[in-house]
Every structure is written in structure tokens, then in C-alpha cells.
Chains A and B, each alone.
Chain A
Amino acid sequence: MLLKYSTFWKWSWVFIGAILISLAALASLHPARPLQAQPSSQAGNCEYEIAATADSAVTMGDMAGILTFVITNTSGSNCNGPIDYIQLDFDASIYELSNATSAPDGWRIDEIWNAGGGQAYVLYGANSTTEALSPGESRKFSVRVKGTTQGNNNGRFPNDTAQDEEDTLAELLIRYENFAPNTNDEETYAGNLPTWLRHGLAVQVIASPPSVAVGDSITVTMMVDNRSDTAQDDIYRTLTYTPTGLVTLTSGPTPITIGLTAAGIEGASKLVTHTFEALAEGAVQFFGSATNDAVSSRSAASRQVPIGDFTAQMEVTPEQIVAGQDVTVRMRVYNNGNSSLGPIETSPLNLVGETTALAASDPEPKKVASLPPGSTTTFEWTYTLTGTVDSTYAFTGTASIKNGQSTDIASSNTGRLTQYSAYVTPRRVGAGTPTSPDLPLVFNLANVGGVDLKKIIFTLPDNFNASGGIGSIEGDPSCTWTYDTGEFTGCTLVSGETAVLTLTFSSIPEPAVDSNYSFSLNLCSDTQKCLSGGQNQRPDENWEAAVDVPFTITRYRIEVAATPLTLAADGFSTSVITATVLEGAIDSPVPNAQVVFGSTGTQGTLSRYGGTTNANGVISVTFTAPVSFIDSQATILAEYLTSEGQVTLNLLGTDGPNPLYVGGTLDPVAGQPGNDLSLSLDTINLGSKPITLTAGTQISFTDNSGHTYSAALSSGTDLPTNTTRSLTFNSVLLPSDFTPGAYYPTLIFTGWITDPTVLHTYERPVNDPFSVGIAALEATLVAAPDYLNIGQPITVTMMVTNTGVNTANNINPTLLTIGGSGGAALATGPTPTSVTTLISGTTTAFTWHYTATNAGPVTWNGAAEALDSTTGINVSSSSATSNEVIITKPAALSAAFSTPTAVNVGQTFPITLTVMNNGDAAAQNLTAGTLDMSESGASYNSGPTPNAAPWLSGGNTTIFIWTYHADSTGTVSWTGTVTGTDVNDSRIVTATATSPNMLIEEPAALLCTLNAAPVSVGTGRLVTVTMTLTNTGEATARDATPAGLSLGGNGTANLVAGPTGAPSAISGGGTTQFTWIYQASAAGTVNWTGDATGTDGNDGTTVNAPSCTSNNITVTDAAFLISSITARPEAVGQNHTVTVTMHITNTGSNPATSITPSALALSNSALFSLVSGPAPASTDLTAGDNATFTWVYQSANNQTGTNTWTGNATGSDAGTPTNSLSTTSNPVTVYEVLINKSLQAPFYATAAPGEFVTYTITLENTSSGNAKLITITDRLPSGFAYGEKITDSCHFDSTPTSGETGLLTWTYAGNNNCSLNSGATATLSFTATVASTPNRYCNTAGYMLKNKPLIERSDLACVTVAWPEYEIISQIGSLTIIATVRIINGQPTILSWEIQP
């Protein structure tokens, strides 16, 4: 059993080894092998997906296309490692795989198999585990597919169907990295394979012209080809554009639907046209597709069409190069405006992309002097690009002209760096292009693949019959490629070099529709082993790479010719370019074909860049040579739809100065015969040498009758190279019989180069026309009416007169603009909108109707435009401004009565009606009419005055006055209406008002009574006399005032005070009183007599009260005591004494005896105690005598506060007691710390404005304890400014803080307190600048003890601020002059002047 087992395993191992050896041998033949399908269940939990991108599609009949698939590893992390091999199998009856297919980054192509037998696949392998497709990752695989060569397809995608075909992958196989190699453990994708369309229609979108101005038309043509084998009807197109807003469709599509015959049959290709109008500046691009129910096309894009007066396009070619190759960047500049532009130059270009660009040349040309309207010119750069494979490149830039105007930024197409590149020139030819002699196609091939190429194998499309070929290595003349049976050999294309291979063809296809072809080039590193043909396998051991070169044969053919073919590159020499468009297959001319011109090579200017062929299919343009110092060539391209043709001109380099006219600078551009004319223009020297122009330089033009206008340069000027100068020519009469028309002047530049004695002349054209005898417009604007109200219509009329020579066509007014602060809205107009013709000397009118909307002045501004009938140039009038129209708010009246509040019966009084115009428009012919009266208490007297107001401006008032007579008491009001007419719109305007009620009263009447009290008094006592004044009428008595009282009787009394009571108004029935105080002075009987006057409040008459007399009073002799009390000082400390005095006067006529003061009552008895007094204890006073009683009080030692003393005196009048009234002293304040403040002023207590004073605050601790002083404060009077602290006994801060207004606070510097023992004092002195206003200013000082509130004392240290006054005594002998002066701000003012004797 063991033996058998061993034998079995021995032979088994032999068998397995043989199999492995066989597999190894097979592996040695192929670096990799196609994956073999295995059941997908082996994948376990591994999953992945595949999808075709949206742009994956091909078109029937095309030879090549790109299909892109995205493969995503959707497995979990525990799958069998990342995917490192992917194989895409295609249906070989439809597709072949191009050798030019490339792998994504990090992957390689292990095999491309087109072996027939139903197999066509591409096998990708990951370069490393890192690049393999891990779970969650995706890769995009782009496959370049070609049409099958099987059957009759001839390398094209089959079209043997009547509808779009949905193609799909035949199979997808993958392998996981963790599977052992060569174990047949690949798996087949079990899901739905991606599909894509094989379209039955092909579409191309062509926009023409290449650039337009705003308002111009763009023709967008869609060329629709049927690629299916069945006729297709009802094909409609879809056309979109971006961005929106730049263009609008004005016509098309034409036709709306089309029917096409089957592919290859005449009628299989048709055009659909659209016309768009350019609305705004920018660049627009169109996208189109076509379809019916059965077939459809892929979307195609037009070129970008820049819109504007001055535009630019950019293009970079080729789009695929290898690093180190050159690209050509062209900027085409278009003048879509109406006047010449120049000089034109370009900005430095910006490179967009990852490549590095080295400018191999400056722009050629550097400048273009002039670009006439409708023409185009091209600037060209050459750049050498370097970078890594797949890095991209594109360019942007602008063109600009002298005035700073520049184009929008133009952007080129984007190119890409590759390992190998190849492109063919021309890239397209028209059907029927002659092949006798043989047609050469030049293939430019570049190699940076790192491997030297020794053989280039060409696979030609069907019906391309090559007759021979030759090639060279660029920069290596020693080597020549030779061509034989599809292969170029004989040279080695080292990596980093380029080769030019020229194949000549004895015949090529002549398709009836545009047909795309592809030349397949296999690039081989070995001349022996490299295979050829579509069945090549890849990799071959010496087979490195492949490229496909597209080539197109278009339905139309353009033949381009130039006369002459050789011209000077001087900037103004011209050649006529003629393009003929032919239906290629039948050589039939194509009329009405829109041809676009452009140029390459050394650039020049084309007179126009687009146009339509004539009936013979011919169109011509004029090429103006550029300026070049060396010989060069220019290639003129003509394009129609997808076809293009070209002709190459030989340009002879020029030397020396080259002064040229700068386009658009001729000024003026028109003039009238018989007028003096001075022309100016700019010139630029684009030559190689400077020149100094002399006054011999001339400008001239001549009409057909031989009349010449010629003017010489006003003064010579230098003209360095590449420099622009403005030239002004002398003013010369333009002959009056000069034939009207447009003339292109000629410049004869005369100047010297190095030797002023050797003059050179250069004749140059001015390619802007000068128009003689053009139409000229004058416009005036009239607006009516001059004044109107909001809402009213306004008519604006523009009168346009042709003051020129020629008839003006298409006369249009410009849009009117409204100026001023008012407003008006256009209702209709202009009428007419346009006038067709306006012959010389005639006038036409345009009318607008507006409606006034806002108040204020309004004017209109506008001009007229037209075309000169002869020259076609635009003429316009100067801007005209209308008269000013004043728009107003309509007149609006308001009225109000003004009447007396009250009148007296019998009084004649006015009634005033005030009328206001609240609008802007004036109201005229205002009348007020008769007033309605509410009651009958008054009667009409006269009025109104005036009878009428002829005019009342807006915002103004006028008055009407009536007079009435008051008949009886009562209340009356009036109602009235004022009527007028609005001067602007004649509208009747009214206002009605009712007056306030007016009282009619009886007049005021005054009656007085006098009363004296008391009726019996002793001498010295006071008597009060009261006058009561009564108004017995109804009207108010105003300013009622008593007359002075007269004293009657045999006694006497003296007036002490009165009368009190201001003059007052006494209403009807009311009373008022006036009071006098008299002091009885002599015994007897006394009475008073008086009267009063006032003013009637209604009529202003004086009202007198009849005289009245008081009652009698009896005055007897008596003593009369008057006392007053004074306490000093007013502020004391504790334990201080205060002296209180009572001053007594006997004002009576009898002596007073035994006068004693009463005991004084203290308001704060705890504050003071009596020390002594009164002294004397008693006294006697004769009549008129006085005496003083004195008390001494002492303040308590622990109390603070304020106290007053109250008391009187009592005596005897011959036995009859008499006493004074009780009085109270001034208050006396007791401080714990007594505060005082002293003043040191320049002159006693006086200071001049602005002078310094010194204040000293003294604090004395009068308490028995210690006082802890925290702060000292001072409130300077208003206008005083603190100066500085001078002395300080307790070390307070040097600078006080400024608290509330004017409050200075010094805080103890030790941040503690200033301790004052009992009896101790503290002082603080500081200066201050007094106020500038003379006055008396007092001060308030204060302090704060620890834990106690602020104590302040006011009215201290008062200072009088006054301008200083001086007395000057000047004495000589006995003569003395005494002068008093006041010095105010340094200026003396004499107050008095006295001369003695």
C-alpha cells in the first residue's frame, strides 16, 4: 500500500512537472497570456463593476473611435487581493483594437489581440500591487477601437443596419493578485456588460463667420450624414449654445426636417442652417445633434465665435506632441467695427497646463499698423514645450490697440504631451484633389519613448494607393528614410528626435460625403521582427508602440490661388486671394458658400475674413503683406464647412525705414467742399531704420475730375523704429468743385535717414476713407408747453435738417435722455420712427409724446443719425438739448379766516381771509365773493379788498379783507369761498373756510375802591392801603394800572413800598387788587385818593376808573421798635465763640423806655451754649435812636451743625408796652474741622481776566480728637482753570483728580490719611487762572474725613475778575492831569480825564 502510494506520487510528480515545464515554455513565448474564463463562484465574496462612460459611442462608417470603461473593485477587504489583470473582449465582427490604445497610469498593456476568429481583446496589467485595483478603487480604461477589416467593412464600423445599434463587450475577465499565476483562476464577469451606441448619423456643426460684432448675424450650419444603409426620413436636429444671452435665433432651422438617402448614395448628406443675431459681447459656442426614431448622432461642437468690435481667437497646433517639440500658437484678431484700428499688438501669452513653454520666437509680426473694418490679421508664436507624458498645454492672451482697448482674453484649444506623436499635413483635403502629380502627405513623427525606432510600418486605409515615400531625421541630413511596401526603413529615430516622412499617393478616395480615415503607424525598434498589419499582436518583442493619424477627405474642395504669389513684406503691398469652392466628387462650383479665410506662416492682413461665393463658387479677398525684414512665406487658408484649401505666398523681406499709416487715426474723416481742411493721423515706423520726416511729407487725394487735395506736413518730426508719431498737416482748402465721394488718401513720406541732405520718399496708402461732401445733420429739440402740471402731456419735437451736400438715408433719432429733477414718461414716439431719405437742405421732424410724472424742470437730449447716401458712412448731428419744461404740482388753494377774538358793540372790525396756494402752478383771477354770517350781531360794512387777486404763485399767500360793524352782543362766525384758475391747465380751483366764533361784547369799564388798614395806628407803624379795581364791562381791560395815591388829611404817612401787583388784565366782571405800604409818621387823620387806567382789550381804547378815596385812619404819637439779629462768624469750629447782636431802632415819635431783649431761641440748642449777655441788659431809645444788645455763645466740643437765633425786644411807651417783631439771625455752621479758604489776587481781591490767583485752603481740627483727613476738594468757579499746587502741609497728591464738573480732589499721597491732632491745621495752596469774563466768582472748598461724607463750604475766597483800572497822575508845577484808564486785552481805554486846576 505504501509502495503503491509512493509509485503513484512519483509518477504524479513527473506528470505535474511536465505540465509546469510546458506552461513555462508557453510563457516564454508570451510575456502574458489571455485570461481564461473560470466560474465566477471562485471569487467568493469578491465583487466588481464595469460601466461605459457617457461619451462612449462610435459612428457607423468611421474608422476609429474611443470607448471608455470604468471598472470599480466593490469587494470587501477580505477579498483575494486587488485586481491586477483586466481583459476586455470585443465583438471581432465589428471592432478591432488599435495598437495605439494606451493604458491608464500605473498600468500597462500586456496584449492587444486582433487575430480574427472572433477574438479581439486588450489585456491590461497593473505595474505593481500599489497600482492594482484595490477594494473601493476605480480605474478608467480608454480603448481605441477601429472598424473591422472583415467582410466589406474595409476598416470601418459596420453600417449594415437601418437603425442605431447598441453594441456591448463580448466578455470581461479579471484576476486577483493573490491568485497564483498561471493557475487558470481568472474569473468572468457575470453581471450585465456595458453597452454603447453605434450611431447611424454623423453631424458636424460649423459657425460662420469666425467672429462678429454685436448686431451681426452668425450662420450655424449642421452637416448631417446618414451612415446607415437605409434611407432616413424626418430627421430633426437639436442645436444649443453656451453661454446663453449672447445670441438669439432669428431664422432656421432650414429645413426643419430632412430626409437622407442611404450611406454612400448622393443625398446622404445635407445641410441645415440657422441664423443667429449677436446680442452682447463674449464668445459663443454651438452644440448640435440629429435624430429620428431610428438613428441618431453624437453631439458635435462648433468653434467658438467671439462677439465684439475687436475680438481675438487662439489656436495651438498640433494638439499632440512629444516633449521638446515645437507648437505654433496663432492669435487671429478681427476688426468687426466700423473704423480702422491700429497699431495692434499682443500681450505676452500665458501658458495653461503642466508643461513648460520656452518661447522660440517673438510674435510675428510684433505689430500691425492698421486693421481696416472687416479685416483680420494673425499673430503667430512658436513655443518649445517640455514636460512629462500626458501633461497638457494651452495658451491665453489678448490683443490691444493704441487707445488701450483690448480684446477679451482668447483661449486656445488644449494639447497633450505623448511618448510618440504623429500628424499629417494637410490634415484634410477635398474630394477630387488632384493626384497627378502624386499627392504628397507629410507625416511628422516624434519619439520620446526612450527606445530608438528603426522601422515605421504604415497601414493605409483602403483606396489610398501610395506611389512612394521618402523621409528624413530632423537635423540629420545624412540619413534618408526609404519607403517600400508599407514600411519606412533606413534611419534610426533616436528617442528625442523627430522625423518627417512624406508619402505620395497616386490615388485617394473621392467620397461624396465627408469621410474620416486613419493611418495606423507601428513603431518598431527592430527592422526584422516587427510585424505589420491589423493582426499584429502586442507585445511583440521589438514592437514598441503605435499611433493612429487621422485624415479627412471632405465633400467639398477649395482651390485657392493668389496674384501675385510673391510680394514685398512691407506692410502695405497686396495680393488678391481667390478661393473656388467645388463639390469635390463632381467638380461642380458651389455658389453662396460661406467661406472663411485665415492665414498661417508669416502673417499679414486679410481684407475680410468671410464671405459668400458667387455663382461660380468664387470669392476673393485682398491680402496685405506684413512687415518683415527677412524673406518668409504666408499660407492663406480658406474654409467652407469642413473643407479647407490653401495657397502659400512668398514674402520678400524689406529693409530701411517703413513709415505706415496707423489705422483709425485719420481725423477728420469727412469734409465739405469749399471748406478749409486740416488732416491729422498717426504713423508708425515698422521698418528697420529710423527716419526723420520733413515738411515735404504730404497727404493727398484726387477725384475723377482731376481735382486734388494736397496738404504738407506742418512740421517735421523724427520717427524712430517701432514708434508712433502723430502728424498734422497744413490747413488747405478742399476745392469747392471737388466731386463728393469717399477717397483713400495717399501719404508721401519724405525724410532722411542719416544724412539730412539725402531725402527718401515712401508712398503709403491710408486705408481709411475720407468722405467729401457727405450729408450732415443738424438737430434741434423743442418741448412744449413750457409750464405744465403733473399728469399733463408734453410734446417733444426734433427738427432734423440735412445741412450737408449729399442726401442722408435712414434718418433715425437716438433715444432721448431726460435731464433735470422733474420726470416724464414716454407715451408714444418717435413718430415717425425713421425717415428714409432727407435730401440736402430739407428738414424733417420726429415727435414724441410724454406725460409729466414728477415736479421739477425737465429737458430732453438727443441726436439724429443717418447714413450718407454716397459713402454709406454714418453721420450724426450734434447732441441737441431742448428748452426747459417746468413741471409743477397743480395749483391747490386753502383758505383760513382771521378775525378778532372779540369786539365791542359799536366797533368796526376787519375780517381777513388768507388764501394759500399749496401747489406749484400759479392760480389766477382769485375772487372771494360775499361772506355768509352765522348770526345777526354784526352788519357788513365793506369788502373784500381787493376785489380779486390776479395771480397767486405756488407756495404764496394772498389776503382778502372785509369790514363789519358790531351791532349787538353775541357770537358770530363767517363762511366764505375763494375761486381761481390754474394757469397751467385752466382748471377751476376753490377753497372754502369758516372763521372761528367771534364774541361781540360791551366795552370794558373800570371802577376802583380804596381801603386803608388799620384804621388807627401809632407813629412808626405800617399802614396797608389796598385798591380794588373792578371791570364792570364785558371786554377785558388790559394793563390795568393804578395811578399814584395822594395823601389827604392832617396827619402824615410815608410810602414804604408799593404798589405791589403788576399791571394786569381784568376780564369782564373781574377784579384785581394793588397794595401800598405806608409808615405813619405824624399824628392826625390820613386818607388816600387814587384812580386807575387800563386798555379795552377789544378796541384798544383807554379805560379810566373814576377817582376813589379810602377810609380815614387816625395816627397817634407812639414809640415803635424794630429789631434785627446778626451772628458772627458764620462758620466756626468746635469750642469756638460766636457773637450775636440784636440791633434795635425806635422808628416811632415817642421815646421807648426800659427796652429789654427777649431770651434768644436757638434753632439747634445743643450746638451752642450762652457764655454771656445780653449786654446791656436794658436801654432807652428816643424817637429815631437805636441800640445794640450783645450775647456771646460757645459751640459745643463734639457737635457739628447749623444754628440760628430768634428773638425781639420789649419796651414801654409812656407806660404802654411796645415790642418789636421777632426776627431770626443768619445761620452759623459748626465744623469739626473748620475749613477756610483765602485768596491771593494780583490786586487785593481783584484779578484781570486770564491772571493767576492763589487759593489757600486751611483746615483746622477744632474737635478734641484726632481727625483723619482723606481728601481735600475744591470746586473752581466756572471758567477758572487749575494751575498747580504750591504748598501742601500734609503731602497730598501733586495733581488733583478731576471728578464731576469742576471738582478737584487731592488725595493723601500715602494712600492713607492725613492725621490732624486736635487744634492742628493743614493747608494746601494752589494756583488757578481766572475766567475771561469779568464777574465776581466765589469758591467752594471741602474735605473728607475717614469714613465720613464730603463736607463743603461755599462762598469762600471770592475774587472779582475785572479788567485792571489805573489812576495816572501827571504833575508839572501846578498843572495836574488825573486820568483813569482801563486796560482791556492790552489796549487802554480812558475812563476819565481831569485837568487841575
Chain B
Amino acid sequence: MSAKLYNERGTTLVIALVIMGVAVLLIGAFLYYVSTSQRVTTAVKAELTDHYSADAGVEHALWRLTNESGFTQTVASGPQSYTLEINGESVAITVTRVTPAP
């Protein structure tokens, strides 16, 4: 009974090593996933921020066209470009008067 028990002890080790190997693989995969997700999240967040900033740039130009005295005349004389600091980033804005479609 005892010999048998003795012999079974090596099998257990193999099994434990296999399990540990699988666990290492899983943990590694998990850690990779987490890392990638964090990178993706950061990128998406930056993209959204850019989008919001660009949108705000358009809104700013609209505000100037409808409220800032003399701006439309200035634009009528030629395209007007300027930059704004939005969300910590620089947004380049160009306003051009165009000929209405017939």
C-alpha cells in the first residue's frame, strides 16, 4: 500500500507542473490583454479628445462668424487661419468664404 503510494507521488508532480504551466500561460495572456486594453483605451480617449477639440474649433469659428464684429468682412477679404488651445492641445482653424452653390 505504501509502495503504491510512493509511486503515485511523481505523477502528481507532473500533473502539478502541467497545471502550473497552463496557469502561467493564462496569466501571461491575461496580463497581455490587460496591457493592450490599457493602450487601446488611452488611444481611444485621445482620439475622442481630438474629436471634441476639433468640433470645438468649428463651434468657435461659427461663434466668430455670427458674433464677432468685422470677422465676416475679414474672412470675405481672404481665408483667416488661427489656432486655439483646446483641451491642452493646439487646434488649427481656417475659415474661408466660399461662393454659394448655384
Contact = CB atoms under 8 A, between A and B. Distances in A.
Interface string B61-95: 11001100000110110000000001001111111
Contact of A1368 (B47, B95, B101): B95
Contact of A1376 (B54, B65, B66, B72): B54
Contacts of A1386: 66
B97 A1364 contact: yes
- Residue of B91, B94, B97, B101 ringed by the most chain A CB atoms within 10 A: B97
A1380 B98 contact: yes
Nearest to A1388: B62
Nearest to B92: A1371
A1242 B93 contact: no
Interface centre among A1246, A1368, A1380 (most CB of B within 10 A): A1368
A1364 B54 contact: no
A795 to B, nearest CB: 78
B45 to A, nearest CB: 14
Contact of A1362 (B51, B72, B100): B100
Contact of B100 (A1246, A1387, A1395): A1246
Interface string A1226-1244: 0000000000000000111
B68 to A, nearest CB: 12
Interface string A1353-1371: 0000000101111111111
A1370 B100 contact: no
Nearest to A1360: B100
B92 A1370 contact: yes
A756 interface: no
Nearest to B53: A1372
A1368 B58 contact: yes
Contact of A1379 (B58, B73, B89, B100): B58
B2 interface: no
Contact of A1372 (B91, B96, B99): B91
Contact of A1375 (B47, B72, B94): B47
A1360 B101 CA distance: 11
B100 to A, nearest CB: 4
Contact of A1243 (B50, B76, B91): B76
A1371 B98 CA distance: 19
Interface in A1064-1116: none
A1370 B76 CA distance: 18
A1372 B58 contact: no
A1366 B74 CA distance: 12
A1373 interface: yes
Contacts of B95: 1366-1369
B96 A1367 contact: yes
A1372 B92 contact: yes
A1327 to B, nearest CB: 15
A1372 B50 contact: yes
> Which of A1242, A1244, A1377 counts the most chain B CB atoms within 10 A?
A1377
Nearest to A1393: B58
A1370 B94 CA distance: 7
A1383 interface: yes
Majority SS at the chain B contact face:
helix
B66 A1371 contact: no
Interface residues of A, number: 29
Given A1246-B99, A1365-B100, A1366-B65, A1395 B50 contact: no
Contacts of B89: 1372-1373
Nearest to A1370: B57
Contacts of A1246: 99-100
A1015 interface: no
Given A1244-B99, A1370-B55, A1375-B51, A1383 B93 contact: no
A1376 B56 CA distance: 12
A1395 B72 CA distance: 24
Given A1243-B76, A1366-B75, A1372 B97 contact: no
A1242 B58 CA distance: 23
B78 to A, nearest CB: 10
A790 B1 CA distance: 135
Given A1365-B100, A1375-B51, A1381 B93 contact: no
A1382 interface: yes
A1244 B93 CA distance: 23
Q: Is the interface of A mostly helix, strand, loop or mixed?
A: strand
Given A1368-B61, A1368-B93, A1242 B54 contact: no
A1375 B53 CA distance: 10
A332 to B, nearest CB: 90
Contact of A1365 (B86, B91, B98): B98
Contacts of B101: 1365
A120 B78 CA distance: 133
Contact of B65 (A1242, A1243, A1383): A1383
A1243 B54 contact: no
A1243 B57 CA distance: 24
Contacts of B76: 1242-1243, 1364
A1243 B100 CA distance: 11
A1370 B58 contact: yes
B100 A1383 contact: no
A862 B75 CA distance: 84
Give the most central of A1367, A1380, A1382: most B CB within 10 Å: A1367
B93 A1364 contact: no
Contacts of A1388: 62, 65-66
Interface string A1382-1397: 1100111000000100
B62 to A, nearest CB: 5
Nearest to B101: A1365
A1367 B98 contact: yes
A1239 to B, nearest CB: 14
B97 to A, nearest CB: 5
Nearest to B73: A1242
Contacts of A1367: 95-96, 98
B66 A1383 contact: yes
A348 to B, nearest CB: 76
Contact of A1381 (B47, B51, B62): B62
Nearest to A1373: B50
A1373 B88 CA distance: 13
A944 B62 CA distance: 71
A1379 to B, nearest CB: 5
Contacts of A1366: 61, 65, 75, 95-98
Contact of A1383 (B72, B92, B99): B72
Contacts of B86: 1372
Contacts of A1387: 66
Nearest to B86: A1372
Given A1368-B94, A1370-B91, A1371-B92, A1382 B100 contact: yes
Nearest to A1362: B100
B65 A1377 contact: no
Nearest to B60: A1370
A1381 B57 CA distance: 14
A1371 B56 CA distance: 11
Contacts of A1362: 100
A1364 B50 CA distance: 29
A1360 B92 CA distance: 31
29 contacts: A1242-B73, A1243-B76, A1243-B99, A1244-B99, A1363-B100, A1364-B72, A1364-B100, A1366-B75, A1367-B96, A1368-B57, A1370-B55, A1370-B61, A1370-B92, A1371-B54, A1371-B91, A1371-B93, A1372-B50, A1372-B53, A1372-B54, A1372-B57, A1372-B86, A1372-B90, A1372-B91, A1375-B47, A1377-B55, A1380-B98, A1381-B65, A1388-B62, A1395-B51
Given A1366-B95, A1368-B57, A1370-B56, 7 more contacts: A1364-B97, A1365-B97, A1365-B98, A1366-B65, A1368-B96, A1372-B57, A1381-B62
Interface of A: 1242-1244, 1246, 1360, 1362-1373, 1375-1377, 1379-1383, 1386-1388, 1395
Across the A-B interface, give the 10 residue pairs with the lowest CB-CB distance, nearest first.
Answer: A1370-B57, A1362-B100, A1368-B61, A1369-B94, A1243-B76, A1377-B54, A1370-B54, A1375-B50, A1371-B92, A1367-B96
